[in-house]
Amino acid sequence: MQKRIVIALGGNAIQDAGKPATAGVQLMACRKTAVSIVDIIEKGYDVVLAHGNGPQVGNILLQNEASDSDRTPAMPFDVCGAMSQGEIGYWLQQSIGDEIRKRGIDKNVCTVITQVVVDKDDDAFKNPTKPVGPFYTKEQSETVSKEKGYVMKEDAGRGYRRVVASPEPIDVVEKEPIKRLVESGVLTIAVGGGGIPVVHNCDGTLKGVPAVIDKDLASEKLAEILDADILMILTAVEQVSLNYNKPNQVNLSSITTDEALEYIEKGHFAPGSMLPKIKSAVKFVQSKADRRCIITSLDAANNALEGEKGTLIKND
C-alpha cells in the first residue's frame, strides 16, 4: 500500500520573499512547488496538501480597508480566510495538475474550502494575540476600535494592529468528503491557512469567527483524521536547530518525542515560528506508534524522505 503523507506547505512555497505579491509571481512560486510535490508522488506516496495563507489574507485585509464603503463593503475576517483558501487552492491545483499531466500521471487535483471547528470558550478568545491587517497610529487604532469593535495592540514598536485569537483546532467539518476524495486517489488540498475557524451555535448550526488557526496544528489534525503515515511540515530552514542563529547552533537530524518535549521545556523553539511545528509533530507522532513527522524545507523535501536531510521526529 502507498504511504499517505500530509504535507503542510509554508509561505515560501506560495510566495517568494522579496518579490511583489502579484498573482503572476505567486503562481510561478506555486509552479516551482508543484515540481517537488509531483516528485514525491512519483516516489509512490499518497499526497494530501495543506498550506499557510498569512501574506495572502493580509493583502485581502488591506484591500478591505482601502475599499471599506457602502458600495464595496469590507468582508468579515472569516470570509477573507475563505477567499484566500480559494485563490491559493486555485494556484496550487492548476500548477500541480499541469505538472502531473506533463509527466503522464493519471491523477486529479481538488481543493476543498475547509471549515475547522474551534471551541467558542477556548482561552485564546480571552486574550487575542495574533496581529492581522494594516498598521495604525495610536489615535487611529482608538477610532477603529470604537467603530468596529476590534481589539488593537502595539506590534513591536511599529504601530498598532488588530489582534485576533488563535484557538486550537477541534475537528474538520468537511472531513468525510475529504476522506472520500483521498481514498479515491485525488490529490486533495485542504485546511488552507489552518481552515476557516467556526464554532457551533446552540442549535447545531455553524458560525464563522474572527480567528487564526495555526496551519501546522490544523495539518496535524487533518493527518490524524486521514490516518496518515507521515506529517511533513515544510518551512524556511532545512533542519530544526537548537540555539538557532547563535554561534553554538546545533542542527538536529533526528529526535524522539521525549527529546522534543524536553527542548520545548528549555525554551529552544520560538513561539509563532518553530514551536507550533514541534508541538504538531509531537502530537501527531504520539497519536500512533508507527507515525513519524519530518520538518524541512521545500528544496530538501525529497531528500528528507530518504533520511538524507531534514529533521525526523519519531517515537522512542
Positions marked catalytic: 11-12, 130, 215, 277
The cell for 201 is 451555535
**Residue 103: enclosing H or E segment and its boundaries?**
none
Structural element, H or E, at residue 80: helix 77-102
What is the arrangement of strands in the sheet containing 254-256, beginning at the earlier edge strand? 109-111, 187-189, 46-51, 4-9, 230-235, 292-297, 311-314, 254-256
| Grid coordinates of 302 | 525529497
Question: Can you tell me the distance from the alpha carbon of 130 to that of 128, in angstroms, rounded to the nearest whole number?
Answer: 6
If you write DSSP's letter for every residue of 116-162 in order, what string do you get?
A: EE--TT-GGGGS--EEEEEEE-HHHHHHHHHHH--EEEE-TTS-EEE
